Chains A and B, each alone.
Chain A
Amino acid sequence: MILKTLSLQNFMPYKGQTSLNFPTEKDRNVMLVYGDNMRGKTSLLNGIRWAFYGNALGRHSRPIPLLDLINKEAASEGDWSMEACITFEADGHNYELRRRAKRRPLVTTPSRSEDFEVLRALSKDGIPLGDHLIDAEINRYAPEQISRFFLFDGELLQEYESLLIDGSEQGKKIKDAIEQVLGVPTLIRGRDDAQTILKAAQKLQSVDLQRLGGFEIQAQKQKTLQAQIEALEEDVARLNGNLKRTKEERLVLEDFLEKTESVYQAKERLNAAQKLEQANSERQTALSIERLGLIKDAWRELIRPSITLKRNEIYAQHDALTGQLLDRNKIETKISQLREALKTDTCQTCGQALHQEQKDVASNELSALENELKNLSFDMTAMQRLSSQIQSLDKLLKPSEAARIEFIDRDLARLRIEQTKHDNEIESLTDLIKGQDTAEISRKRNLRDGLLKEETRIEEDIKKSQYAIDKDRNDLAIIGKALENNPQARAARSSKVVNISSALERVYTRSIDRLREDLKTKVESLASEAFKKLTTQVKYSGLRINSNYGLTILDEHNQEVTIRSAGAEQIVALSLIDGLAHAGRSPGPVVMDTPFGRLDPKHRANILTYLPSTAQQLVLFVHEGEVNKTTDMRQISQKIGCVYEIKEVNPRHSKIDRVTQ
């Protein structure tokens, strides 16, 4: 398929009439559309999408209501008509597809999408096709189910990362889309159709067997199992309905919570800061009280050095007096001994009788000592006074905790600094969440969590029911097998239908897994090839695929590279897209919106060199910040067929101009 022209009227920011021509030459197959963010690049993509399928997608692939698609300025002037028209060539035929929305006759000012009627027309080589044929014709070249792979929104690259997370919502959507591109649903539907036919045939078979006679038991078992399966399938359908509703409800909440996430986080931080501030305050109070208590004794610390000196002085004096006292006691003892000796004429040491000489010596010593004693005065009062002073001073010197004041002061200073920090944080966070209903956000968060749990529960129930269904089907198959071997049973027509449809069902079921395995190998190989051309890192040896079509990079030792930059993610995603393009669809036009957001110049150069070869037409929407007009564009200047630029007239009106290169 080759796109030729796109015309829009009053579509999103494009007020009035807007047209552009796609490049149609084989060698100059690249179209560039420059425009800053929010000017209308994604709207062009949506213009194409709306022309083909009647829907336009916003963030997270959510549909944009029709009312929001009509240019606001035109609507304010009373012009409520909107149109998208695309012409393209395919299989040698020229097509013109036109889709138009206009206000319903009795509505003056539309306020909801239902106030519009939408008409479409498709002509093939100038001949209009009936409306009932349009979908089938479009499906031949641009089926909606795989449109996300040729109408390629840069946001998809970010969504792609969810492929690496097993079980994620977005990952599952993308995985389904990938498998759609690669033909897996064809086999799944084959299996489902065969199953439907088998079920009906088995019912008929039960009736036939009962008529035949001799197979009542098997027939009854078959009937029971079929009834069970039907009931369980109804259950599963009901549960799927509940699951869908619950998911939708949850996604609405997720949207709200995403928008208010920053507010929620700010509130959490505010609560934490307030707790810390409170604890800080309490600690400061406690320390201040302790400090005041310690100050009562602080005067002791001030005089401690002086008092210690004084005490030492007094102690020395006391020591000296004590020495004197001891000396006196020694002399008194000696005097006593001598007196006794002279009285008894016996030596007090050895007990022998004293000679006259010895008596004279003793007598002289006694006189001398008595004189000495007389001169040795001792002031007991002074000694007692000194002891008492020492006691009083010791009391003054008892240890106090006042020395702790220094450490408390340090702690308090630190706490005050922290308090200022907390106070500043609290003030800025309070400002941030002013006017927001944080209680409501918390309530919705809890609601969302509850719904998540509910979803898990429903999914479990679905699994259980499915398991029971599979078991019953197995039992049915066993009965079928037994009947197959019975010539009488085999002869009945219904049995033949059962046999064939059962075989088809088994074969299609197995083929689904086989195809998935084959595809993974093929996509892995193709994506690796693309990756090696796109990456600037020569050491990378390729990519490895997981069950969700997520790809991890392999280094030169074939080990997985776990940490990847945002730029690397983009390259891997582009490699996957290219791998899918070669594995699945025939080369058709690829429209890419902002694919270069996170890439450095080297990677951009690789992509710009490689991409044009991957599709028949390549339309790139870029903003000036993404690519350097001079250096990057040099890579593909030979391949550029046309260049457009989106300009803002006012916030509700943009226009596209062709730029001459």
Chain B
Amino acid sequence: MTTTEPTSVGLSEKAHTLLSSMKEDGYISELTDGYKLAIGLALANGMTPGEVPAPKRTILAVSGLDPEQEIATAIRSLVDLGEGSVYRYAERLAEWGVMEMAARFKSGFLDVAALIKNPKR
């Protein structure tokens, strides 16, 4: 592998605000939980997300987010990254996922059970 992987990942300001309020409202315990959920949602929808809009905010260390590299494994299995960075891709997936969750649950309650049952809209 020639690509250098980043040691931290982030989100756009907007997505970060949304994720933070999910935590404040008690729907997730840690930002990590929401971040992973967002990645999972994006992967389940088979999205090819665009770049994270600027300004980007760094929020999580990769070692904290994916200590056993399960997320990396999942992304690599489902997506043909080529020489691309798996965690940069993860950022884009997370960005899409957070915006998608915010759009789906405008009323505020993060209905994870509904997401699991019907990940695709």
Contacts and interface: CB of A to CB of B under 8 A. Distances in A.
Query: Touch between A and B in complex, CB under 8 Å?
Result: yes
Interface of A: 288, 292-293, 295-296, 298-303, 305-307, 310-311, 389, 392-393, 395-396, 402-403, 405-406, 409
Contacts of A402: 112, 116
Contacts of B37: 295, 298-299, 302
B26 A389 contact: no
B115 A393 contact: no
Interface stretch (B3-11, B52-60, B71-79): B71-79
Contacts of B111: 409
Contacts of A305: 44
Given A306-B78, A403-B116, A406-B113, A299 B40 contact: yes
B104 to A, nearest CB: 13
A393 B77 contact: yes
B70 interface: yes
Interface residues of B, number: 29
Contacts of A292: 26, 28-29, 33
A509 B69 CA distance: 103
25 contacts: A292-B26, A295-B27, A295-B28, A295-B29, A295-B37, A295-B112, A298-B33, A298-B112, A298-B115, A299-B40, A299-B41, A299-B71, A301-B116, A302-B40, A302-B44, A302-B115, A302-B119, A303-B43, A307-B77, A310-B77, A395-B68, A405-B116, A406-B113, A406-B116, A409-B111
Main secondary structure of the interface of B (DSSP, over half): helix
B113 A409 contact: yes
Contacts of A296: 29-30, 32-33, 36
A406 B44 CA distance: 19
A288 to B, nearest CB: 7
B39 interface: yes
A464 B34 CA distance: 81
Interface string B18-50: 000000001111101100110111011010000
Contact of A303 (B27, B32, B78, B112): B78
A288 B36 CA distance: 19
Interface of B: 26-30, 32-33, 36-37, 39-41, 43-44, 46, 68, 70-71, 73-74, 77-78, 111-113, 115-117, 119
Contacts of B113: 405-406, 409
Contact of B44 (A295, A306, A393): A306
Given A298-B37, A403-B116, A405-B112, 20 more contacts: A293-B29, A298-B33, A298-B112, A299-B41, A301-B116, A302-B37, A302-B41, A302-B44, A303-B40, A303-B74, A305-B44, A306-B46, A306-B78, A392-B77, A393-B73, A395-B70, A402-B112, A402-B116, A405-B116, A406-B116
Contact of B77 (A299, A300, A389, A403): A389
Contacts of B27: 295
A77 B7 CA distance: 98
Main secondary structure of the interface of A (DSSP, over half): helix
A299 B29 contact: no
A411 to B, nearest CB: 12
B119 to A, nearest CB: 5
Nearest to A288: B26
B13 to A, nearest CB: 23
Given A288-B26, A299-B39, A302-B40, A307 B74 contact: yes
A301 B44 CA distance: 9
Contacts of A409: 111-113
Given A293-B29, A405-B113, A405-B116, A396 B73 contact: yes
Interface centre among B27, B29, B112, B115 (most CB of A within 10 A): B112
Nearest to B46: A306
The 10 A-B pairs of least Cβ separation, nearest first, read A299-B40, A302-B40, A406-B113, A299-B36, A292-B29, A392-B73, A302-B44, A301-B116, A405-B113, A310-B77
Contacts of A306: 43-44, 46, 78
B29 A302 contact: no
Contacts of B44: 302-303, 305-306
A338 B19 CA distance: 70
Nearest to A306: B78
Contacts of A302: 37, 40-41, 43-44, 115-116, 119
